Amino acid sequence: MVRIRGVHRRFGQVHALRGVSFDVPAGSMVALVGRSGSGKTTLLNVVGGLDRPDEGTVEVDGAEVTGLDEDGLSRLRREKVSYVFQTFGLIPVLSAAENVGAPLRLARMPAADREKRVALLLDLVGLGEHARQRPGELSGGQQQRVAIARALASSPRLLIADEPTGQLDAETGRSVMALLRAVVESEQVTALVSTHDPVMMALADRVVRISDGQVSE
């Protein structure tokens, strides 16, 4: 599903990624672990097309991400790749349902289908009763659940999650991780998750360790 080959990324004098190469099979959940500053987020950004490598190639579902122009990257993000961020990234004035439906609006899905899909996803993340609430009215764990539902809305092939439990307490973090694991299985999504959380590592199909910009496994 994801092929990473010889990826280098430098920020000035800092060599954040040094020839990173590995594959992520379709339908699997890979945990990316490493200390702060090891290059986890940089690698996720390169894989998701949010950043461009200085060298190397990344393929997602057969498409070479590193060769796409801005419109191609937008299309990739709209159709194949979704993100879950540590800070949730919800739009404050929209309800939970509207936030989940945002990618579907961009995909111009008919309203009726969109509403059905949103309801399904909110039920999936256990927030069916909170559909009309705004992010400010939800707890951190609930917001992250909404973010996961939004990430799944457009039926992506790849879900990229950067420290999804970073702002949550341990218990909430565990439930979010369990949810992620569950949706990967139920939605047949490939997941690449950066984490420090041992629980997440235990839930992952594979753990990739990154140290000083290199894969150390």
Partner 1 sequence: MTVLTGRLSVLRFSLHWPSVRGRARADTGPLILSALVVALVSLLAGAVPGLMRDTADAAVRDAVRQAGPSADVTVQARWEPDDFTSDGSPGRMRMSHLAADLADLRGRSLEQLSPDLRAALRPPVASVITPTLRFTDGSVLRTFRMAYLDGGDSPKVEWIDGSAPPATVDGEADVPYNGPPWRVRVGLSESAAASSGVRPGALLQVRDERGATKNVQVSGIFRPVDRNDPAWRLAPWLLDPAADADGAGTTRFGGLLTAESLPDARLAFKPDELRRIVTFSPDPSVITWETAHGIAATAITLKATSATSSSLDTAPTWNTQLDAVLRDVTEQVSAARVQASVLLFAVIAGAVLILALAASLLGRRRSAALALARQRGAALPVLGAELLLESGLVTLVAAALGCAGAYLVTGGVAVWWVAPVVLAAAAAGPAYGIIAAASATRDRRVPANRSARRWLRHTAALRRAAAEIAVLLAATAAVVSLFQRGPAPGLPALAPTLAAVAASLLLLRLLPLVTGLVLHRLLRSRRPLAVFGAAQAAASAGRALPVLALVTSAVLAVFALTLGATVQQGLIDGARETVGADARIDITDEASGTTAEVAARIAAQPGVTSVSTAQVIDGARIIADEALVPSRLIIRSGGVSDPSVPALVRSSSGQLRPGMSLELRRDDEPPVRLTASGVAPVVSGAEEIVIVDAAALAAAGVESAPNTIWVNGPGTESAVTGAGALLRSEVLRDRRAAPLVNGLLWLSWASAALLVLLGLAGFALAAAAGAPQRWQTLSRLRTLGLTPRDARRVATGELVPWALATAVGGIMAGAALTALFSALELRLLTGQEADPAVVWPWLGLAVVAALFVAAVPVVVRFEAVARRRRQLAEVLRVGGQ
Residues near partner 1, by CB under 8 A = 41-42, 45, 48, 50-51, 70-71, 74-75, 77-79, 82-83, 85-87, 89, 91-94, 98, 102-103, 105-108, 111, 150, 154, 163, 166
Closer by beta carbon to partner 1, 102 or else 207 = 102
Nearer to partner 1, 73 or 205 (CB): 73
Residue 110 or 217: which CB sits closer to partner 1?
Answer: 110
Closest residue by Cα to residue 180 from 160, 210, 198: 160
Nearest approach, Cβ of 201 to partner 1 (angstroms)?
21
If we measure between CA atoms, which residue out of 177, 115, 116, 100 comes closest to residue 141? 177
Closest approach of partner 1 to the CB of residue 73, in Å: 9
Q: Alpha-carbon distance 215 to 200, whole Å?
A: 19
Nearer to partner 1, 187 or 205 (CB): 187
Cβ(203)–Cβ(29) below 8 Å: yes
State in angstroms the smallest separation of the CB of 28 from partner 1: 22
CB of 24 to partner 1, least distance (A): 19
Residue 61 vs 79, nearer CB to partner 1? 79
Nearer to partner 1, 69 or 217 (CB): 69
Do 58 and 40 form a contact (C-beta atoms < 8 A)? no
For residues 63 and 119, what is the distance between their CA atoms, to the nearest angstrom?
Answer: 31
Residue 81 beta carbon to partner 1: minimum distance, rounded to whole angstroms: 8
Tokens of 112: 């009726």
Structure tokens at 25: 């099979």
Rounded to whole angstroms, how far apart are CA atoms 102 and 85? 16
Least distance CB 173 / partner 1 (angstroms): 16
H or E element, residue 200: helix 198-203
Pairing of strands 81-84, 2-11: unpaired
